[in-house]
Chains A and B, each alone.
Chain A
């Protein structure tokens, strides 16, 4: 909304009530990333700037305060079109930054009244942010979703049930097929976890809730929705291993998404990265957490 400075009847806006600061991510101070950030457009197409702390920096946009009040945000999140736009704008900034350096993605709609308040927050958590960012450096997040495919539902005409018993048998076969596919998907997920851990190709794994079938354009029921933190030099091996495992499994569909900024691994409360000695032991080095 344009400022209404020319309205003589309106009192001048009190200091700091006309603009707010929308924060996307925290990163270690980094020239290339800061240069890239200045070229970006963020929420509502607004310019992006860098707010520098001691070692870390926040990536922010100045937003009209009235568009980001508690009520206004609630309204935007409540509308699927607005929500999608906001989510994509937010994500785009983070994705572009992640191309240059390790980033801590902040949750959607983290808004401050002014720079000072955000700077204080940066300062308070500086140590934690630095530790987490160092842990994430050189890694990408990859998603692996495994779907159980529905068994073929139309039996050939000659197999049409001729009696009640035949009908029940056909029903049971179909249900068993469904359960088999579900089990195959879950087993494949476990095999992917194990293989990647044993080959030391991933640093962490997190299992997210399966996505509801209504959200998928493709057939099948989402059974496994995993995120892996993968060292960048292992990207190719990671993909190859996962694809080989998937190719050998009947009744499932596997989808790899990424690279993502490390959204699923940005929480500072994750255990520290396994040390090389630990990784060398027989026990899988992979660390897991199920939400």
Chain B
């Protein structure tokens, strides 16, 4: 058996557990934990930027053992159509994220917490 419990999990496995599972007991500091949907958007943003960066020949993290897990793997170069599609999606996600962030920061949001 592995001496490092949970070591086989990737970042998504870990985030899923520490953000979405576990015991919720009220702390003194109020935090708005990320909605898992929002998290997914953020992670997709990350992945999209990773692809874009790789396409530009930036791949330093793949040689850094602390950053390169099995989560990052060389992918075939994306087709131009796919790249445009990703860029559009990236812009859409960023806009969505911004508006979600704005809503989270609004103290008197009508549908607030």
A interface with B by C-beta (< 8 Å): 20, 23, 26, 68-70, 73-74, 77-78, 80, 83-84, 87-88, 90-91, 95-96, 98-99, 104-113, 117, 121, 125, 132, 140, 143, 208-209, 211-212, 214-218, 235, 256-261, 263-264, 266-268
- Cα–Cα, bound, A33→B63 (Å): 36
Q: Report the minimum CB–CB distance from B89 to chain A (whole Å).
A: 10
- Cα–Cα, bound, A140→B5 (Å): 9
Q: A23-B27, A215-B47 are in contact. List 8 more A-B contacts (CB 8 A).
A: A70-B30, A78-B42, A104-B23, A106-B25, A109-B27, A211-B16, A214-B47, A257-B9
Q: Are A87 and B15 in contact (CB under 8 A)?
A: yes
Is B109 in contact with chain A by the CB < 8 A criterion?
Answer: no
Chain B residue with Cβ nearest A232: B1
Q: Provide the main secondary structure of the chain A interface.
A: mixed
Sampled A-B contacts (27; CB under 8 Å): A23-B27, A26-B23, A68-B29, A70-B30, A70-B31, A74-B104, A77-B33, A80-B42, A84-B11, A91-B6, A91-B14, A91-B18, A95-B4, A106-B23, A107-B23, A107-B33, A111-B27, A117-B28, A214-B44, A215-B11, A257-B6, A257-B9, A260-B6, A260-B17, A263-B17, A263-B21, A266-B21
Q: Are B6 and A258 in contact (CB under 8 A)?
A: yes
Is B34 in contact with chain A by the CB < 8 A criterion?
Answer: yes
CB within 8 Å of A: which B64-113 residues: 70-73, 101, 104-105
Q: Are B34 and A77 in contact (CB under 8 A)?
A: yes
Residues in A whose Cβ lies below 8 Å from that of B27: 23, 109-112
- Cα–Cα, bound, A116→B16 (Å): 30
Q: Among the listed A91, A208, A257, which residue makes an inter-chain contact with B8, where contact means beta carbons less than 8 Å apart?
A: A257
Q: Are A108 and B29 in contact (CB under 8 A)?
A: no
Q: Among the listed B3, B4, B29, which residue makes an inter-chain contact with A111, where contact means beta carbons less than 8 Å apart?
A: B29
Q: Report the minimum CB–CB distance from A98 to chain B (whole Å).
A: 5
- Cα–Cα, bound, A252→B18 (Å): 28
Q: Are B5 and A217 in contact (CB under 8 A)?
A: no
Given contacts A83-B15, A105-B18, A106-B23, contact A70 B1 (CB under 8 A): no
